[in-house]
A and B are shown apart, each in its own frame.
Chain A
Amino acid sequence: MSPQGSTGELVSDWSLLERVVRKDEAALSALYDRYSGLVFSEAKRILRDAGAAEEILQDLFYQVWRTAERFDAARGSLAGWLLVAARNRAISRLRRKTGKTEELDENGVILRVDLESVAAQNVLLDKVRGVMGSLPEGQRQALELAYFEGMSHTEIAEKTGQPLGTVKTRIRAAMETLKQVLR
């Protein structure tokens, strides 16, 4: 359930994050309730392992608790950061890569859509799935291999037997369609 203020309005991510900076556990709890499902589902989709996805989920929200003051509303969205950070950590784990995660890099994520309530998430979920379902098979496959499997365009070209240029074009075209529909 989305956290609401005393007058029934939705409390924004940044208001909650400001409270997390002041070490307000209820605010972190509200953010967790808001985004844990999305973060967990994404990590599990990549890793196909609920235990590993739960570890990533816990670590990410622990990082939010420890470093909330570093998030900069001007540089992007918390929901975006959570989704990109979850994806990067899951892919690193999937490909057994080590090394420091780029915190600042991940912080720069701008979401032009609302994900702050379950209702908004549901609407967007249908929309994005609709777009992905409508893409030509080759475009959808190339984009999913990159995002969920962490494969580079070269690896996708090798796996699918398609020329490198075709793979690049397909990924760009799929992203462009997503952008046009969500605009």
Chain B
Amino acid sequence: MTLDPRSIADKAPRPERHVPVVVVGAGEAGVAAAVAAARGGAQVLLVDEHPVDNDMMAMDVPLYFGQRMQESVRNRALMMERVVEANPGLAEAHEAGVDVQLGTYVWGAFVNGPSVRELPGPMLGLADDRRSWLVGYDRLIVAAGARDVVLGFPGWERAGAMGAAGAHALLTRYRALASKRMLILGSGSLALATAALALEHGIDVAGVVEVGDAVHGEIGAFPTLHGVPVYLSHTVKEARGKVGEVESVVLVQVDAALEPVVDTEREIACDTICWALGLVPNVELLHLVGARLLFASSRGGWVPQLSDVMQTTAAGVFAVGDCAGVRGDRATAREQGRVAGIAAAQSLGANLSPLPARRRAEGDGPAVHAYWQQWLQSLVHVGGWEVNVCQCEEVTRRELVEVKPPRYLKWDSPQMNARSLETILGDGPVNQDQIKRLTRAGMGPCQSRRCREQVGLLLAQSAGTTIDRIPLPSFRPPLRPLPLNVLWPADEPPAMREQWVSWFGIPTQFSPHWEAGMAIAEPTAQTPLILSDE
């Protein structure tokens, strides 16, 4: 029996190449994993999205760059040089025989499952500035790192409001941070390290702001910070400046109830305000391959469930480094990478000496969400409810918790006005995806990187629950906002392209129901499909 020419059977796109081990992310953990797997005899591809192009940076993807990039980031060749120079691990990986591809995004993962059975094997969707392609793999090691948690205040849309991870990347990888004077929010190890790094690069640090009444990190470990003002029990009232720019920040003192104290405002001149409250594991790729994720506040939120060798619950998929749980500790990241790299190579038949048991000294930090919640409460008390929680779609805190339809619809009805988080809670637990569909919060081009956590925290707070009880909002491919001309499948098989308007040739599909003889005893496959334009 020949196949119906219109059937999609056997037309699934083939990967353009197959690599036994693919490692995503070339930080400490990813490089260690790639090197270990290659030394174990496996063929390894290591991809990293840096240097990302200027347009992507301007959308705060993948990190919160806050428009504080220098013009030089437009020079791709120069940025490629700098990214390579900044990461000695890349040379090490290259020497170990790893195929290293920089400036390469992972935008999708395609694996067989209950509703997909026809793929030739698991595949990743990759892309660079020009095109996208598929790569098949046997083992996938995800070392995707972490991103900043950011919380809104009046003026947080201005250029110069950025995240610590974005600042670190621009300072150390790109050497292209356009900042002269930076105010830092938070006082944990991330904040203090960011302050020290800024000073080291000749940036003036205007101060470290902490909503609590004590510094969280060990400030003594950063001698260069001596003399930097520390504002305890303070929060941000507003960022000010000429159109679209941060030129100063107004701080205000808060009391034990996180309410503003009258007449304590102070305006601090700075061109950059940097969130350094903590990091969130980048689990979007792990979510796409179906790895089970668990909530662990001490590791930054949703993290993969892992075996002793860093294997997730998804077949052949490992997670290492900050995306497996934020620890911010390079030695742990390297060790995790090494363990996963060896395990991946071993599972492919490499004859390696047995693994050392993974060190259980996890070094989990304190639970971070209560701290973020504290910051958010102070910002709500001081800044009010008319502050945007979602910049892309301009959804305010009030519109979010009152579950208002998007403003541009100009849709005002008693029915809609009666709807609120409270009435929705009557139908079941709060669900961030549902709230997104109703309000558009999180639907914009930054792919909810700037609002995901604050939307979750606000919903939890307003619903009187804790954020671990709010299900993980979904991630969908493409995981990066890629241009259509890049994502466009240039390699689509002609057989698929010719027939893309239909899935099967069903001769009777568009027959009127009153015509006799539709029921089939023996279907005929080759009868032409009736198309309306024929």
Q: Tell me whether A and B are bound partners.
A: no
